[in-house]
């Protein structure tokens, strides 16, 4: 019995020891597992599978795989897919890929074709009061022009999707057909000094000696009237023409005293505000440019001033910048600057929306003379520039102004547009006339035989609404006295705002003022009161008298 009990105890001890050993090894195993868990987790984390990419291009499909998270451009590069910068790619090249994707590449190609086309000529009718009524006379036969038109076609995967004209080049200008029709009236001819040149229906005509003596000198039918100037020797006419290109217009010249002369391009474009010959025999001219734009008014003025010298064949001999294009323009500077030449051509007077001043053409020195209060106009496609004119000896400057004559104090009175007188030698300024209107355009006469001169201007019939088209031509002495109406005398009649032109004469009896009324040229002698309608075109747009 004792032996059996002893054996039982030994067995119990053995089982206890075995259990302790198992528990020890199990604890060690748990500790091992705990220590190795990060490694096991890392080993057991599944890899992100690559993305399946299909690329459709030019009717073919390419397939491949790329890692997730790459961009479309990286995917195409890794797959060796070539494409052009003009091609359309969906999704966009910068898109990050996170799933299986089909990339579509539309191949974009361009093709240009150039063909010659006909520019049809236009027919014009000019009425002439020197021919019997109903009689016709062909002044010029019409002739078609030629142009090269470049058409650009756009293809997507070889299919035409768009077509547009990308360029036009005029090879030969069309020549309009001009037919004169007689409409003779009882009007008598008027003897006139100098050369009176005008534009009607896009053509330039010349009157000389008598209003009955008129001849066409430029018949291209595309003069825009922006530039029209005669050289000091009366031989060369400079004018601007509309263009068929992206430019607004172009400058041309013509030797009007040579019957065989042909128009010559000056190779200058986009001139809106100013271009004029310098005095002298050499063909030198000043001009200012604009930059075309799509929004109104169609340009943005550079407010520059340039000098060009050309030969009689139009070859450029010299090109000089006197005033650089303006940076940081003044209020409403996009509208432009008006210029006026001194008698000798050295000084260039200027007027813009904030000042009137002078420029020394030789040194480019710019000197403001008068400060002008700008006329505030919100959301308008035009700006107001004061009219100005010089006395014959250039000692006195007449100018229009808004509100304060010294330009210091703003005004909001619509009637507060006046005319001032600035004495350059004394540096004094005085009010000459009040409430003349926004478009008074003061214009000084030539010096008369007795040493005096006069000032013509436009007077608004309603100063509170002077932006309207109702004005009367007035005359005053050089000091603002003896103010009187010239045309029309009836209060029910009026003329449109415009620049007035004095005849180049120093005799009172020849002191005509030329202006446009109902599309025709009228002459009025402001001292005698005699006036005459000298054309019946009803289409006159521009006049010069030199």
CATH number, domain containing residue 78: 3.10.20
19 has a pLDDT exceeding 80: no
Count of domains forming the chain: 3
Answer yes or no: do 156 and 252 share one domain.
no
Average confidence (pLDDT) over 470-475: 94
Domain-embedded: residue 45:
no
Answer yes or no: do 358 and 415 share one domain.
yes
Residue 246: band (very low, low, confident or very high) from pLDDT cuts 50, 70, 90: confident
**Could you tell me where the beta strands, DSSP code E, fall in 86-190?**
88-90, 101-106, 108-119, 123-128, 136-140, 145-156, 159-172, 177-182
- Report the pLDDT value the prediction gives residue 504, as an integer from 0 to 100: 95
- Report the pLDDT value the prediction gives residue 95, as an integer from 0 to 100: 92
CATH assignment of the domain containing 464: 2.120.10.30
Q: Which of 13-27, 148-162, 219-233, 424-438 is the least confident region?
A: 13-27
- Name residues whose C-beta falls within 8 Å of residue 220's C-beta, 6 or more positions apart in sequence: 173, 175, 176, 202, 203, 241, 263
Q: For the segment 406-439, what is each residue's pLDDT rounded down to a tens digit?
A: 998 888 888 999 999 999 989 999 999 999 999 9
Count of CA atoms in the C-beta half-sphere (13 A) of 48? 11
Sign of CA dihedral 485, 490, 492, 497: negative
> Can you give the residue range of the structural domain that contains 98?
51-106
527 has a pLDDT exceeding 70: yes
Answer yes or no: do 201 and 319 share one domain.
yes
308 has a pLDDT exceeding 80: yes
Residue 304: band (very low, low, confident or very high) from pLDDT cuts 50, 70, 90: very high
Domain-embedded: residue 177:
no
Answer yes or no: do 383 and 526 share one domain.
yes
202 has a pLDDT exceeding 70: yes
Which of 536 and 229 is assigned the larger pLDDT? 229
Domain-embedded: residue 448:
yes
**The token pair that represents 286 in the structure block:** 């000043």
- Report the pLDDT value the prediction gives residue 331, as an integer from 0 to 100: 79
Answer yes or no: do 72 and 204 share one domain.
no
284 has a pLDDT exceeding 70: yes
Q: Do residues 131 and 185 lie in contact, with contact meaning Cβ atoms separated by under 8 Å? A: no
Q: Which residue in 263, 256, 169 sits closest to 223, CA to CA?
A: 263
Domain-embedded: residue 176:
no
**The token pair that represents 120 in the structure block:** 């049809």
Answer yes or no: do 300 and 448 share one domain.
yes
Residue 2: band (very low, low, confident or very high) from pLDDT cuts 50, 70, 90: very low
β-bridge pairing 203-218 and 191-200? antiparallel
Answer yes or no: do 514 and 529 share one domain.
yes
Domain-embedded: residue 11:
no
Domain-embedded: residue 150:
yes
Count of CA atoms in the C-beta half-sphere (13 A) of 126? 26
Q: For the segment 100-144, what is each residue's pLDDT rounded down to a tens digit?
A: 999 999 999 999 999 998 888 888 777 666 566 666 767 788 889
| Segments in 300-362 forming alpha helices (H) | none
Q: Is 528 helix (H, G, I), strand (E, B) or coil?
A: coil
Average confidence (pLDDT) over 233-249: 91
Domain-embedded: residue 10:
no
Q: Do residues 116 and 169 lie in contact, with contact meaning Cβ atoms separated by under 8 Å? A: no
Answer yes or no: do 321 and 249 share one domain.
yes
Q: Which of 89, 106, 123 is the last residue of a domain?
A: 106
Task: Name the percent of the chain in helix, strand, coil, to the closest 5.
Answer: 10, 45, 45
β-bridge pairing 108-119 and 145-156? antiparallel
7 has a pLDDT exceeding 70: no
Domain-embedded: residue 253:
yes
Q: Do residues 452 and 511 lie in contact, with contact meaning Cβ atoms separated by under 8 Å? A: no
Interatomic CA distance for residues 295 and 267, integer angstroms: 25
Answer yes or no: do 239 and 115 share one domain.
no
Q: Which of 125, 143, 171 is the last residue of a domain?
A: 171
Which residues are bridge partners to 457 per DSSP? 474
Which of 9 and 293 is assigned the larger pLDDT? 293
85 has a pLDDT exceeding 50: yes
Query: Quick one: what percent of the chain has pLDDT higher than 90?
Result: 60
Q: Do residues 207 and 214 lie in contact, with contact meaning Cβ atoms separated by under 8 Å? A: yes
- Name residues whose C-beta falls within 8 Å of residue 51's C-beta, 6 or more positions apart in sequence: 65, 66, 67, 68, 97, 98, 99, 100, 101
Answer yes or no: do 224 and 273 share one domain.
yes
CA angle, 17 as apex, 12 and 22 as ends, to 5°? 125
Average confidence (pLDDT) over 218-235: 94
82 has a pLDDT exceeding 60: yes
Distance of CA 391 to the CA centre of its chain: 32
Q: For the segment 320-372, what is each residue's pLDDT rounded down to a tens digit?
A: 999 999 865 677 889 999 999 999 999 999 999 999 999 999 999 999 999 99
199 has a pLDDT exceeding 60: yes
Q: Which of 171, 204, 224 is the last residue of a domain?
A: 171
187 has a pLDDT exceeding 80: no
Answer yes or no: do 84 and 124 share one domain.
no
Q: Which residue in 519, 512, 521 sits closest to 543, CA to CA?
A: 521
Answer yes or no: do 160 and 73 share one domain.
no
Mean per-residue pLDDT of the chain: 87
Interatomic CA distance for residues 114 and 484, integer angstroms: 63
- Report the pLDDT value the prediction gives residue 423, as an integer from 0 to 100: 95
Q: Do residues 461 and 489 lie in contact, with contact meaning Cβ atoms separated by under 8 Å? A: no
CATH assignment of the domain containing 148: 2.20.230.10
- Report the pLDDT value the prediction gives residue 12, as an integer from 0 to 100: 52
């Amino acid at each position: 019995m004792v032996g059996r009990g002893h054996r039982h105890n030994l067995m119990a001890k053995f089982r206890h020891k075995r259990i302790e050993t198992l528990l020890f090894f199990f604890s060690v195993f748990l500790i091992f597992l705990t220590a190795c868990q990060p490694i096991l987790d890392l080993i057991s984390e599944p890899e992100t599978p690559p993305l399946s990419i299909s690329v459709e291009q030019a009717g073919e499909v390419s397939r491949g795989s790329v890692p997730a998270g790459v961009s479309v451009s990286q995917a195409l590069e890794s797959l060796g897919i070539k494409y052009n910068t003009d091609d359309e790619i969906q999704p966009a090249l910068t898109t990050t890929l996170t799933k299986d994707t089909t990339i579509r590449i539309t191949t974009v190609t361009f093709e240009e074709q150039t063909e010659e086309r006909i520019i049809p000529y236009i027919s014009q009718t000019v009425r002439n009061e020197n021919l019997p009524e109903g009689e016709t006379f062909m002044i010029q036969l019409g002739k078609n022009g030629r142009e090269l038109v470049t058409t650009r076609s756009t293809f997507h995967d070889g299919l035409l999707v768009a077509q547009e004209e990308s360029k036009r080049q005029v090879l030969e200008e069309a020549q309009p057909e001009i037919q004169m029709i007689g409409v003779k009236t009882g009007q008598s001819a008027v003897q006139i000094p100098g050369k009176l040149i005008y534009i009607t229906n896009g053509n330039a005509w010349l009157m000389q000696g008598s209003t009955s003596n008129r001849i066409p000198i430029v018949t291209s039918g595309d003069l825009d009237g922006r530039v029209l100037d005669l050289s000091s020797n009366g031989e060369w006419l400079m004018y601007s023409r509309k263009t068929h290109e992206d430019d607004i217009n172009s400058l041309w010249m013509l030797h009007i005293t040579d019957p065989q002369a042909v128009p010559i391009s000056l190779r200058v474009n986009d001139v809106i505000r100013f271009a004029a010959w310098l005095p002298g025999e050499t063909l030198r001219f000043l001009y200012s440019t604009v930059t075309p734009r799509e929004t109104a008014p169609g340009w943005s003025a550079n407010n520059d001033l340039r000098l060009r010298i050309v030969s009689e064949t139009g070859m450029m001999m010299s090109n000089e910048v006197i005033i650089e294009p303006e940076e940081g323009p003044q209020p409403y500077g996009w509208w432009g600057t008006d210029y006026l030449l001194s008698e000798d051509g050295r000084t260039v007077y200027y007027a813009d929306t904030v000042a009137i001043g002078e420029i020394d053409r030789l040194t480019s020195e710019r000197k403001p003379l008068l400060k002008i209060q700008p006329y505030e106009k919100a959301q308008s496609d035009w700006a107001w520039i004061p009219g100005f004119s010089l006395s014959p000896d250039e000692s006195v400057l007449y100018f229009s102004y808004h509100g304060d004559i010294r330009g210091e104090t703003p005004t909001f009175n619509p009637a507060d547009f006046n005319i001032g007188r600035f004495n350059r030698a004394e540096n004094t300024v005085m009010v000459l006339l009040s409430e003349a209107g926004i478009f008074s355009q003061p214009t000084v006469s030539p010096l008369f035989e007795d040493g005096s001169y006069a000032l013509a201007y436009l007077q608004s019939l309603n100063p509170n609404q002077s932006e309207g088209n109702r004005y009367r031509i007035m005359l005053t002495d050089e000091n603002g006295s003896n103010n009187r109406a010239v045309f029309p005398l009836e209060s029910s009649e009026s003329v449109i705002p415009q620049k007035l032109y004095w005849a180049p004469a120093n005799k009172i009896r020849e002191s005509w003022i030329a202006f446009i009324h109902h599309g025709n040229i009228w002459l009025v002698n402001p001292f005698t009161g005699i006036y005459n309608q000298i054309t019946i075109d009803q289409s006159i747009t521009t006049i010069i008298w030199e």
